Amino acid sequence: MPESVNITPDANVVAETAPNKKPIWKRSKFLKELSTNKALFLMMLPPFLLIFVNYYLPMFGVIIAFKNFNYVDGFLRSPWAGLQNFRFLFMSDAAWRITRNTILYNLAFIALGLIFALLFALALNELTSRLAAKFYQSVIFLPYFLSWVVVAYLVLAFLDPNGFYNKTLTKILHLPTVDWYASPQYWPFILVIVNLWKNVGYGIVIYTSGIAGIDPEYYEAAVLDGATKLQQIRYITIPFLVPFMIVTTIINLGNIFRSDFGLFYQVPMQQGLLAPTTEVLDTYIYKALIMTGDLGMSSAAGLYQSVVGFFTVLFANWAVSKISPENRIF
């Protein structure tokens, strides 16, 4: 019976326990679904294969963190190295530094991103002219659409030794010249400001849509009771947005181990001197892989990021499901 070669073990069991003359594809649950919905299966086959190749094959590939990988032997035949790669990684001072940088930057982005987006959205909402509010919102949203390469250009135009700060601002305001690209101490501030500048527009859109969803009757009632503007914001708008702020924050905290590669790679322009304060997990992994070719270190750091990131996301979701179950992701 040639068909039986390809059927699943499950279908075999069914075949043994219920011997009847029905064709094999009607006896297996999966094959039955396959035949009734073959068009649907056929539709999702190309995207399914793409997901499998692009996302799932690399997941199996994480075993190289436990191997002495070389390109000739590939994923499967390279010799095992046990935990050696991880031992090297965590014995180096890089591991602590990049973990600290990644977490601290993300905390700053989450906290300031929330505060500024909220304040801006509240203020835009109070403008008397709706047209002006729309205009401001559009302009503030513009930087979000620029690539990090462009942002790197913009930052350079200000901070270059020949740039706007060193040649113009220093003259007007009598400030000392600063070689920004050789002074790591300033970069935590620069990167936080640049990130806010680029992304605050996105947050504003989200909070504005949240504010738009509040029933105006609440405000009417508040006005009748003589509430001031600040009281309305304090007792109506903010409480309405709180669940949303909590959920966004927790989801962002879940991603605390991941960072925006473009920001940390492009904006400091890969200046070695800036590494102590600008290197994060993603840039470290990239540099170890491409520049130094240290596959052991980079794959170990990559798996460390993936696994810890996986658990922080799960934990974040668990926390959301406790606080507001309707907002949990799964």
Instruction: Out of 3, 10, 126, 215, name the contact with other proteins by CB under 8 A.
Output: 126
Q: Single out the segment in contact with other proteins by CB under 8 A; choices: 9-17, 20-28, 104-112, 156-164.
A: 156-164
CA dist., res. 134 & res. 268, Å (int):
33
Smallest separation, CB 2 to other proteins (Å): 26
Of 5-13, 87-95, 99-107, 215-223, the window that binds other proteins (rule: CB under 8 A) is: 215-223
Of these, 10, 22, 74, 323, which contacts other proteins (CB under 8 A)? Answer: 74
Report the residue number, 21 or 162, with the smaller CB distance to other proteins: 162
Q: Does 292 bind other proteins (CB under 8 A)?
A: no
How far, CA to CA in Å, does 278 sit from each of 99, 192, 231, 282, 316?
11, 11, 41, 11, 26
One residue of 26, 87, 100, 167 binding other proteins per CB under 8 A: 167
Using CB under 8 A as the binding criterion, the count of chain residues that bind other proteins stands at 106
Closest CA to 110 of 50, 196, 208, 170: 196
Q: Is 62 in the site for other proteins (CB under 8 A)?
A: yes
Pair 152, 181: CB distance under 8 Å: no
Q: How many whole angstroms from its chain centre is CA 207?
A: 19
Provide, rounded to whole angstroms, the least separation between the CB of residue 313 and other proteins. Answer: 5
Lookup: tokens for 19: 């011997």
Among 3, 26, 48, 238, binds other proteins (CB under 8 A): 48
Query: Applying CB under 8 A, which of residues 110, 117, 121, 124 lies at the interface with other proteins?
Result: 124
Q: Is 123 in the site for other proteins (CB under 8 A)?
A: yes
Subset of residues 224 to 283 that bind other proteins, contact rule: CB under 8 A: 229, 232, 261-262, 266, 269-271, 282
Q: State which residue, 1 or 266, has the beta carbon closest to other proteins.
A: 266
Only one of the segments 6-14, 17-25, 93-101, 173-181 lies at the binding site for other proteins (rule: CB under 8 A); that segment is: 173-181
Residues 184-203 that bind other proteins (CB under 8 A): 197, 202
In terms of CB distance, is 19 or 46 closer to other proteins?
46
Q: Applying CB under 8 A, does 92 fall inside the site for other proteins?
A: no
60 binds other proteins (CB under 8 A): yes
Q: Which CB sits closer to other proteins, 2 or 218?
A: 218
HSE value, Cβ hemisphere, 13 Å, CA-based, for 124: 28
Q: Between residue 96 and residue 115, which ones bind other proteins under the rule CB under 8 A?
A: none
Angstrom distance (rounded) from CA 139 to CA 186: 27
What is the nearest approach in angstroms of other proteins to the Cβ of residue 110? Answer: 18
As measured in angstroms, the least distance from the Cβ of 162 to other proteins is 4
